[in-house]
Amino acid sequence: MHPVLDDLITLLELERIEDNIFRGDSRDIGSAQVFGGQVLGQALSAAQHTVDGRVAHSLHAYFLRRGDMAAPIIYEVDRARDGGSFSNRRVVAIQHGRPIFNLAASFQNPEPGIEHQAVMPDVLDPEELRDIIDVEAELLDKMPAKLRRHMTDKRPFVVRPVPQADAAKSMPPVRCVWLRTVDTLPEDLALHQNLLAYVSDYELLGVSTLPHDLPFGQGAIIMASLDHALWFHREFRIDRWLLYAMDSPNASGARGFSRGQLFSEDGSLVASTAQEGLVRVVEPGSKWHRSDPRLQA
């Protein structure tokens, strides 16, 4: 297996300390704090370790504090309920004695039922598109050096953006990307779900900024995830192409709200996401510009 993907899988597996307590490390991907998708994937993994025979179908999470990449993260799982068909788990992620993140996840015994779904957007196939590092050189130039190196050299996922119809700086708040892991994975649905939780935080909040031509390269934007929800609808493989179709119906109050749908190549809707995050435009020298470590430079 590709070493970067293997490292990510190991990162999400966690060390079991007691029945309901787990420990995880972090990886520096070039951001100012622990990547939110990492904590999301690890928390889901911790919950999965306490559930037998049931499959995750939804999770709802809040990001409370920035994560410290130099310290381990402790995940405490509360086995809130095990009913006849559903199990619920609550997970708190702790660093330096304080919660940095909490999550509620629900698991279900697989069973048949009524079915309908949204229609997948009509976009180019992934084989017709170029990799993100080939088509977004200008965006990469604006990223911090560490993040740029991660995007170009150390990636567990292949990402191919669908070109926007309007190439102007200010665009509609809509974005589609094809993604998959860089290598084949074992037959383990829980693993595929953990990796999807990890990557579901990728670019989602940024969609809310597309209409506004914000000055990302001038050190004047603070962005941070506040909450994140993810629903698993059908079985899938993340080592095969998934279309991540995202849109942002609202931005207000220094917050952006975005939604996403993930489709397999055959058009099956396999998962849905929603996220709200801080999107603060600040003036140089302001208290936010001086003090907030999440400032995107």
The CA distance from 3 to 172, in Å, is 37
| 153 is a catalytic site residue | no
Alpha helices, H only, the chain: 3-13, 36-48, 132-135, 137-142, 145-153, 189-200, 287-291
> How far from 201 is each of 274, 279, 282, CA to CA, in Å?
10, 15, 23
To the nearest 10 degrees (0 to 180), the angle between helices 189-200 and 36-48 is 150
Nearest to 210 by CA among 249, 169, 246: 169
Contact 259, 248 (CB under 8 A): yes
The pair of structure tokens assigned to 93 is 């992620």
| 188 is a catalytic site residue | no
Sort residue 203 into left (φ over 0), alpha (ψ -120 to 50) or beta. Answer: left
Among 193, 225, 248, 272, which one carries the catalytic annotation?
225
Among 87, 193, 208, 275, which one carries the catalytic annotation?
275
| 166 is a catalytic site residue | no
Exposure letters 266-278 (e unless 16+ CB within 10 A, then b): eeebbbbbebbbb
Among 201, 248, 272, 296, which one carries the catalytic annotation?
201
Q: Which residues are catalytic?
A: 201, 225, 275
